[in-house]
Amino acid sequence: MDKATTALHLIIESGFRVGFWIIFLWLDKLSPVVRHIDEDELWMYRYPSVDSYFPKRYLYMTMVCVPMIIYIGHWLLARKNRTTIPEIIQSVYGLTLAYCLNGIITCVLKLSVGRPRPNFYFRCFPEGYGTDIDNCDGEYHGQMDGRKSFPSAHASFIFTCMIYMILYINTRLDLKRPRFCKGIIISMMTTLFLFASVVAASRTADYHHHFSDVISGALIGSAIAYIVQGCYSSTDEILQENLLRIVKPDHE
């Protein structure tokens, strides 16, 4: 694989991910299956309609900023190693693919299941009056979004991000071997997991999701992170060598 082929490889891989993300954004705007809701189960969906404690914009910022900080830290600690930058590039490609796959899988499940959110009643009847759930008074987009409870996208995305980065740190540092300040590193990894758990749990505290939605989202995100990171954790020496020639043209 020469330099030109490697560059083409990167362009195709990037375009592939852009296409996947466009599909995710398109799916996110579609209306889900409209499930029938009996009057005797309305109590499950009559929780208050409040703003998200952790809005979507903060979620996306976290998905970008946390990996960026870790990658910069990796580069600062191992910048003398000639393979550090190719390893980071390879990991970024894995992480972005994990985001795309998670987004599509989560959206397809939301559309297929159509489970109402805990605050669905007040999306349907903003004034708090009404029992005919098939004839809502609320804004249409709010109603349809209120039928996308399962699984939690916040939980799946935040766990995709944090579990992927935890595995990345563990792979690059090889914590099974004796290492200086191992306790601090493990504590940092635990903090990432705790942060993901708090963000996911906040979706039940603001009545946007049921507990089962959050748990399912966390499992989906963790599984995708584990599978994709496992595929990208192995060293592709040929690809890394050609990446090195691209990022450091004077290498030869």
Report the catalytic residues.
154, 209
Would you call 42 helix, strand, or coil by DSSP? Answer: helix
CA distance 226 to 185: 19
Give the HSE-up count for residue 40: Cα atoms under 13 Å, Cβ half-sphere: 0
Helical ranges in 139-181 per DSSP H: 140-145, 153-173
**Is the link from the previous residue into 151 a cis peptide, with omega within 30 of 0?**
yes
Q: Considering Cα of 82, then 86, then 91, then 96, what sign does the dihedral take?
A: positive
Cα distances (angstroms) measured from residue 27 to each of 17, 20, 24:
15, 11, 5
Contact 100, 24 (CB under 8 A): yes
Task: Quickly tell me which residue has 């189960």 as its tokens.
Answer: 41
Q: Pull the structure tokens for residue 110.
A: 């939301």
